Amino acid sequence: MDLIPADAVPRFQTRPDGGLDIDTVYTRCPQCGIVATSTGVDYAITAGGDFDPGEPVELACPALHHYRVTVADFLPRDASCFCVRCGSPIVVPATADQVVCLTCRLYQDGPARPTDAVSHFEAADALSRPPKAALKR
Q: Domain for residue 105, yes or no?
A: yes
Q: What is the pLDDT of residue 42?
A: 96
What pLDDT digit, counting tens, does each position of 59-82 carry?
A: 999 999 999 999 999 999 999 999
**Percent of the chain whose predicted confidence (pLDDT) is above 90:** 74
Number of domains making up the chain: 1
For residues 32 and 22, is the Cβ–Cβ distance under 8 A? no
State how far the alpha carbon of 43 is from the alpha carbons of 73, 75, 92, in Å: 14, 17, 21
* pTM (two decimals): 0.79
Q: Domain for residue 133, yes or no?
A: no
Q: Domain for residue 51, yes or no?
A: yes
Q: Domain for residue 22, yes or no?
A: yes
Residue 57 belongs to what domain range? 2-125
Q: Domain for residue 132, yes or no?
A: no
Could you write out the DSSP letters of every residue in the chain? -EE--TTSS-S--B-TTS-B-GGG--EE-TTT--EE--SEEE--B-TTSSB-TTS-EEEE-TT--EEEE-GGGSPP--EEEE-TTT--EEEE-TT-SEEE-TTT--EEE-TT--S-HHHHHHHHHHHTSPPHHHH--
Q: Domain for residue 64, yes or no?
A: yes
What pLDDT digit, counting tens, does each position of 93-126 carry?
A: 999 999 999 999 999 999 998 766 566 566 666 6
